[in-house]
Amino acid sequence: MLLRGSRTAGPWGRLTLLLVACAARASEITFELPDNAKQCFYEEIVQGTKCTLEFQVITGGHYDVDCRLEGPDGAVLYKEMKKQYDSFTFTAFRNGTYKFCFSNEFSTFTHKTVYFDFQVGEDPPLFPSENRATALTQMESACVSIHEAVKSAIDYQTHFRLREAQGRSRAEDLNTRVAYWSIGEAIILLVVSIGQVFLLKSFFSDKRTTTTRVGS
């Protein structure tokens, strides 16, 4: 599998990549997309191959990102602006290098964490050369069913992990805002209390000065 990344992010263009390659040429990558940055990936695909691109913004800002998929001739196959998550399936219309990019150029100060799963082709059969009407065939059918169930379980686990990471990020952000708001309220309350003390003290001070002048 040929998967390359290029970026136009300047000094903030560091990537943290987690790559998992499977038999069907599927890649799951989680990377950081800085503000005012664009990250592109390239894949060599054979004509007639069915592909699926699925992505989701895990953390950062309003959890949105621009996504664009282009064919070898530069034709735009998919384009979405400020999407939190989406899935797109297509069939390669010609041999060549397909490019898909994620852009955070519309954000001026918010970093994003983006996950995507790019699948090229389908999983090969477990038993491509087996075609026997014996008890072993039933075992093979059971193995195929178990294999499909495990794949579904892996997909569900991946989505649950993404939702958990997103929920944790939102909870931490909310906790930070509540902490800062509490600190601000405490400071305001302290300033108001001190101001009231000095204000009351000034009233008594003025009364004492007036009484002294009258007695003299």
Q: Which residue has the higher pLDDT, 134 or 36?
A: 36
DSSP assignment of 103-140: E-TT-SS--EEEEEEEEES-PPPS-TT----SHHHHHH
Residue 37: how many CB atoms within 10 A of its CB?
Answer: 20
Euclidean distance between the first and the last CA atom of the chain, given in angstroms as a whole number? 101
Q: Containing H/E element for 207?
A: helix 135-215
Q: Please report the pLDDT score of residue 210 as a whole number.
A: 56
Chain mean pLDDT for the chain: 79
Phi, then psi, of 128 in degrees rounded to 5: -65, -25
Whether 72 contacts 95, CB under 8 Å? yes
DSSP state at residue 10: G
Q: Please report the pLDDT score of residue 23 as a whole number.
A: 42
Asked if pLDDT for residue 20 goes beyond 50, the answer is no
Q: Residues 6 or more apart from 14 whose CB is under 8 A from it? A: 32
pLDDT tens for each residue of 120-171: 887 776 666 555 555 557 777 778 788 788 888 888 887 888 788 778 878 8
Query: What are the extents of the domains in the chain?
Result: 25-122
Tokens for 86, please give them: 């989406």
Tokens for 46, please give them: 């054979």
Second-level CATH architecture of 25-122: Sandwich (2.60)
Between CA 24 and CA 125 the distance in angstroms is 11
Q: Which residue has the higher pLDDT, 4 or 33?
A: 33
The arithmetic mean of pLDDT across residues 14-19, rounded, is: 36
Whether 116 contacts 53, CB under 8 Å? yes
Asked if pLDDT for residue 215 goes beyond 80, the answer is no
Q: What is the pTM of this model?
A: 0.65
Asked if pLDDT for residue 72 goes beyond 50, the answer is yes
Asked if pLDDT for residue 18 goes beyond 50, the answer is no
Per-residue pLDDT band for 104 (boundaries 50, 70, 90) equals: very high
Between CA 201 and CA 191 the distance in angstroms is 15
